[in-house]
Chain A
Amino acid sequence: MFNQKKLSLAWGNPPSRDRNQNLAYTLRITVGLVWAILLLAPFLFHDVRALEVAARICIFIVLVASYDLLIGITGIVSFAHTLFFACGAYGAAIGLKLYGGSWSAYSLGSLAGMLLAVTIAAVIGLLSLRVKAIFFAMITLAVASLALVMVSQFSAYTGGEDGLTYKTPALFKTATKLLENENGSTVKVFGTKLNGKLAAYYFLSFSCLLIFALTVRLVATPLGSVLKAIRENDTRAEAIGYRVVRYRSLIFCLSAASAAVAGSIYAVWLKYTGPETVLSFTIMIDILLMVVIGGMGTIWGSVPGVLLLVLAQYYLRDLMEIAAEKTTGIPLLPELLSPERWLLWLGIGFILVVYFFPKGLAGAMLASGEKR
């Protein structure tokens, strides 16, 4: 099939499709490279902050990809994504807090959190996916606000505003030595200690890569095709025999489960779970921005979207500080580049991206890639 197409490209066809194909490959290769760097991060970057950033990027790729499955692929607008993220995180956190840092506590807590997320998604879905998109969005917003209130109300279990700190399974303790040398200290490879922190990072990054790969795969299946059809024209999808409400509910639950798993993974990495890290609306807004910057409906876009925003959030200030120092003496510039103004520049950057790439970074590269 593919070869035939290549042959027909050789003659007479405008070069645009060829170029589109190349852009699509470039995007995939870039995304592959980013993942390679993320997986090698502990050996490439030796400061603690860099590893925190890498972990956050991995987690948010899963969050954004699973959110794109809803908003970009199926056309469902939901504001409850952090609620599902929080279900997984609090499930794991409460499990570890109550029953100590064991694997069984962690997996049972995570499982309970995921089941809770899927149950909430199923109830919201079956009760309200029939209504108009705008009402559905409002309902998810209401449920997410309710969750924020509940977390502070049930502070005996959730730790309220302060959140929870807890022990992780022994393998993930920083003091754990994965390999010991004859002196009894942790073996180092390329200057990186093979300790529990490293194990935790690989648990996190490989799990995230797996979920990301499964999400990309899902879009390329017959089910993915049905979801796009529902986004494009739900009455026609129903008319040709697809029970639209069932498909919408399924994908809402699936995306909720995916967010919950991301939450559980993040919880064991951070060793802390609180509203600020997993439930606040700031996170929801970050996810929305990342989806838009990356390109809605592309899944691949989650990677550049997350990368850009997280790096900006962590490093723009430092960068501006350096720039401001370098430009001292030049009038006005140091003031403009003063690190306190980083949010302003982030905002300007966001507007520029949206202006020049209305379909997002990946969307621009896949301009008519949807055709295939």
Chain B
Amino acid sequence: MKKQQSGSSLQTKSLSISFGGHTAVNAVSCQFHPNELTVIVGPNGAGKTTFFNLISGQLKPTHGQVILNNHDVSQMPPATRARLGIGRAFQLTNLFPRLSVLENIRLVVQAHSGDGWRFFTRITALPELEAKAEHFLHLVGLSSVAHMLANELSHGNQRKLEVAMLMAMEPDIYMFDEPTAGMSLDEAPSLLELIANLKNDSSKTVLLVEHKMSVVRALADRIIVLHNGEVLEDGTPDRIMTSKLVKDVYLGNAGGLA
């Protein structure tokens, strides 16, 4: 058991959502702790992204709750949850396409610093915003393209920007949804390392959806296997890799946890 320091505690209580007749997330109850990196795995359509959407507020649950530090946040809009420290990145790149890379990040920085309502001070008169934005761009290696438009970036660089935007939120809870999907093999490891370092630096909670099992095993403190919207297994990497249940399900599932 990990000792909880400052950080935030996040809990879901029988969290469920149905689209028409289809239940995409079904009674998921989990607790997430600071200093812990939890990897969520499961086949396509298992409900991983939907689970994230419920936690960060893009979707409201049909049943159940999302509890942050003992407060029910399930009915709050996404912006409020973001301010309370729940940050997420998106599986499908979700940027401000015709704004510069720098401005994409600066928007996150100024949301965090609470400068969004300033209507008279020129943005260029707030160099600390830009400096901080440049710091995060440097972190993911995008400094050289800071003045390009986001939609002019290569796919790999867009994924990096997506990750940098979440980092710039400096939340207590980080949620990464397949951050390295479609990235080249030599780019992915450094980005994953950056993500893994987050929980060491401070008392942060990290949730990560990732398919590459070799990586997952090395990074994860804990693995949750989702299947048809339900938690199939939840435990240490060693336990998951040897779980008979997981093996049974994935044996009948071409591709599976390879």
| A and B form one complex | yes
Most chain A CB atoms below 10 A, which of B83, B95, B117, B165? B117
Once A233-B95, A238-B79, A372-B147 are accepted as A-B contacts, the answer to whether A221 and B107 lie under 8 Å apart by CB is: no
Contact partner, A239, options B58, B119, B129, Cβ 8 Å: B58
A233, B122: Cα distance in complex, Å = 22
Once A221-B123, A222-B123, A370-B100 are accepted as A-B contacts, the answer to whether A240 and B118 lie under 8 Å apart by CB is: no
A330 CB-CB contact with B under 8 Å: no
Q: Indicate if the CB atoms of B77 and A226 lie closer than 8 Å.
A: no
A241 CB-CB contact with B under 8 Å: yes
A238, B83: Cα distance in complex, Å = 10
Q: Indicate if the CB atoms of B95 and A371 lie closer than 8 Å.
A: no
- How many chain B residues have a CB neighbour from A under 8 Å? 44
A370, B99: Cα distance in complex, Å = 7
A292, B16: Cα distance in complex, Å = 47
Q: Which residue of chain B has its CB nearest to the CB of A220?
A: B122
Q: Indicate if the CB atoms of B97 and A240 lie closer than 8 Å.
A: no
User: A243 contacts which chain B residues (CB < 8 A)?
Assistant: 77, 79-80
User: B110 contacts which chain A residues (CB < 8 A)?
Assistant: 222, 225-226
Q: Indicate if the CB atoms of B122 and A229 lie closer than 8 Å.
A: no
Contact partner, A1, options B94, B130, B148, Cβ 8 Å: B130
Min CB gap A56→B, angstroms: 28
- How many chain A residues have a CB neighbour from B under 8 Å? 29
B126 CB-CB contact with A under 8 Å: yes
Contact partner, B123, options A220, A232, A233, A242, Cβ 8 Å: A220
User: A239 contacts which chain B residues (CB < 8 A)?
Assistant: 56, 58, 78-79, 82, 88, 90, 94
Which residues of A199-255 have CB atoms within 8 Å of chain B's CB atoms? 217-218, 220-226, 228-229, 232-233, 235-244, 247
Contact partner, A225, options B90, B107, B112, B169, Cβ 8 Å: B107
Q: Indicate if the CB atoms of A221 and B97 lie closer than 8 Å.
A: no
B154 CB-CB contact with A under 8 Å: no
A297, B96: Cα distance in complex, Å = 15
A247, B119: Cα distance in complex, Å = 12
Q: Indicate if the CB atoms of B94 and A235 lie closer than 8 Å.
A: yes
A237, B103: Cα distance in complex, Å = 12
Which residues of B123-160 have CB atoms within 8 Å of chain A's CB atoms? 123-124, 126-127, 129-130, 147-149
User: A1 contacts which chain B residues (CB < 8 A)?
Assistant: 124, 127, 130
Min CB gap A13→B, angstroms: 11
User: A232 contacts which chain B residues (CB < 8 A)?
Assistant: 96-99
A238, B169: Cα distance in complex, Å = 12
Q: Indicate if the CB atoms of B121 and A240 lie closer than 8 Å.
A: no
User: A225 contacts which chain B residues (CB < 8 A)?
Assistant: 103, 106-107, 110, 123
Once A222-B115, A222-B118 are accepted as A-B contacts, the answer to whether A238 and B99 lie under 8 Å apart by CB is: no
Q: Indicate if the CB atoms of B107 and A226 lie closer than 8 Å.
A: yes
Q: Indicate if the CB atoms of B97 and A233 lie closer than 8 Å.
A: yes
User: A222 contacts which chain B residues (CB < 8 A)?
Assistant: 110, 115-118, 121, 123, 126, 129
Q: Indicate if the CB atoms of B58 and A235 lie closer than 8 Å.
A: yes
Which residues of A7-57 have CB atoms within 8 Å of chain B's CB atoms? none
Q: Indicate if the CB atoms of B115 and A240 lie closer than 8 Å.
A: no
Q: Indicate if the CB atoms of A240 and B100 lie closer than 8 Å.
A: no
A372, B80: Cα distance in complex, Å = 30
User: A229 contacts which chain B residues (CB < 8 A)?
Assistant: 96, 99, 107
User: A244 contacts which chain B residues (CB < 8 A)?
Assistant: 79
Once A229-B96, A233-B97, A240-B108 are accepted as A-B contacts, the answer to whether A223 and B147 lie under 8 Å apart by CB is: no
User: A218 contacts which chain B residues (CB < 8 A)?
Assistant: 119-120
Q: Which residue of chain A has its CB nearest to the CB of B116?
A: A226
A224, B165: Cα distance in complex, Å = 19
User: B88 contacts which chain A residues (CB < 8 A)?
Assistant: 239
Kindly supply a per-residue 1/0 record for chain A positions 351-372, scoring 1 wherever the CB is within 8 Å of any chain B CB and 0 otherwise: 0000000000000000010111
B198 CB-CB contact with A under 8 Å: no
Q: Indicate if the CB atoms of A240 and B98 lie closer than 8 Å.
A: no
Min CB gap B23→A, angstroms: 24
User: B77 contacts which chain A residues (CB < 8 A)?
Assistant: 238, 243
Q: Indicate if the CB atoms of B116 and A242 lie closer than 8 Å.
A: yes
Which residues of B59-109 have CB atoms within 8 Å of chain A's CB atoms? 77-80, 82-83, 87-88, 90, 94-100, 103, 106-108
User: A236 contacts which chain B residues (CB < 8 A)?
Assistant: 90, 94-96
User: B124 contacts which chain A residues (CB < 8 A)?
Assistant: 1, 220
Q: Indicate if the CB atoms of A370 and B79 lie closer than 8 Å.
A: no
B111 CB-CB contact with A under 8 Å: yes
Which residues of B31-64 have CB atoms within 8 Å of chain A's CB atoms? 56, 58
User: B111 contacts which chain A residues (CB < 8 A)?
Assistant: 226, 240-242
Q: Indicate if the CB atoms of A371 and B119 lie closer than 8 Å.
A: no
User: B115 contacts which chain A residues (CB < 8 A)?
Assistant: 222
Min CB gap A20→B, angstroms: 11
User: B123 contacts which chain A residues (CB < 8 A)?
Assistant: 220-222, 224-225
A235, B117: Cα distance in complex, Å = 18
User: B90 contacts which chain A residues (CB < 8 A)?
Assistant: 236, 239
A-B contact pairs, 5 of them (CB 8 A): A224-B119, A225-B110, A236-B94, A236-B96, A238-B78
Chain A residues within 8 Å of B, Cβ to Cβ: 1, 217-218, 220-226, 228-229, 232-233, 235-244, 247, 368, 370-372
**Beyond A241-B169, A243-B77, 13 additional pairs, beta carbon < 8 A:** A221-B118, A221-B121, A222-B115, A222-B116, A222-B118, A224-B119, A224-B123, A226-B110, A226-B116, A228-B96, A239-B82, A239-B94, A371-B148
